[in-house]
């Protein structure tokens, strides 16, 4: 049996490889074709760690939505990114915008991650990678670090593929403001 330390070190190494690959590779190499901006966002329904049990894209009609895909709970880059979204959550909510995170981790892992980091937004379990694939965000067995802004009508308005977890929430929030001002 693998030691817990070895297991988490391996996961951290995988996340770092994914992060470095994410900066260098085109989106098409990472997970397939990204959905087109100004077209309906791919529909989904996935299990979540929240009390709702599952979340669908259609649950957010009438609100802006930030959907961010990430490789793995409890790894350094993924933790930083989640913390920044949580830190900025009140600003997003003030702009009628919800945040959801999606990875291949299961619901139990998401629940532990949310408890550990104090996350107040849902994390969705895409264990088969089906939704990650629909969003061009799949790499063999984990989700690639991509984010999307979806408008209140379910139309994809922005895609982010070259992501620095430490500043990503600020970038998304700035672009959200521009999109909302234009609509």
Q: What is the pLDDT of residue 15?
A: 54
pLDDT tens for each residue of 59-96: 999 999 999 999 999 999 999 999 999 999 999 999 99
pLDDT higher than 70, residue 26: no
Q: What is the pLDDT of residue 183?
A: 84
What integer is the mean pLDDT of 44-51? 87
Proportion of the chain above pLDDT 90, given as a percent: 78
Q: How far apart are CA 30 and CA 49, in angstroms?
A: 26
Catalytic entry in 66, 67, 78, 142? 78
Instruction: Report the b/e string of 53-85 with b at 16+ CB within 10 A.
Output: eebebeebeeebbbbbbbbbbbbebbbbbbbbb
Q: Is 78 one of the catalytic residues?
A: yes
Q: What is the pLDDT of residue 94?
A: 98
What domains appear along the chain, each with residue ranges and CATH number?
4-182 (3.40.30.10)
């Amino acid at each position: 049996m693998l030691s817990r330390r070895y297991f988490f070190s391996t996961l951290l190494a995988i996340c770092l490889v994914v992060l470095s690959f994410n900066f260098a590779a085109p989106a098409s190499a990472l997970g397939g074709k990204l959905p087109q901006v100004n077209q309906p966002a791919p529909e989904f329904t996935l299990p979540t760690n929240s009390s709702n049990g599952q979340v669908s894209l259609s649950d957010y009609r009438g609100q802006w939505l930030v959907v961010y895909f990430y490789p793995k709970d409890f790894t350094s880059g993924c933790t930083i990114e989640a913390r920044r979204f949580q830190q900025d959550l009140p600003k997003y909510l003030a702009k009628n915008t919800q945040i959801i995170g999606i990875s291949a981790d299961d619901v139990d892992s998401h629940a532990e991650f949310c408890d550990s980091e104090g996350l107040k937004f849902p994390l969705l379990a895409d264990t088969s990678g089906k939704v990650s694939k629909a969003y061009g965000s799949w790499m063999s067995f984990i989700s690639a670090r991509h984010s999307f802004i979806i408008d209140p009508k379910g139309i994809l308005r922005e895609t982010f593929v070259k992501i620095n977890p430490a500043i990503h929430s600020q970038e998304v929030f700035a672009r959200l403001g521009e999109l909302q001002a234009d609509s």
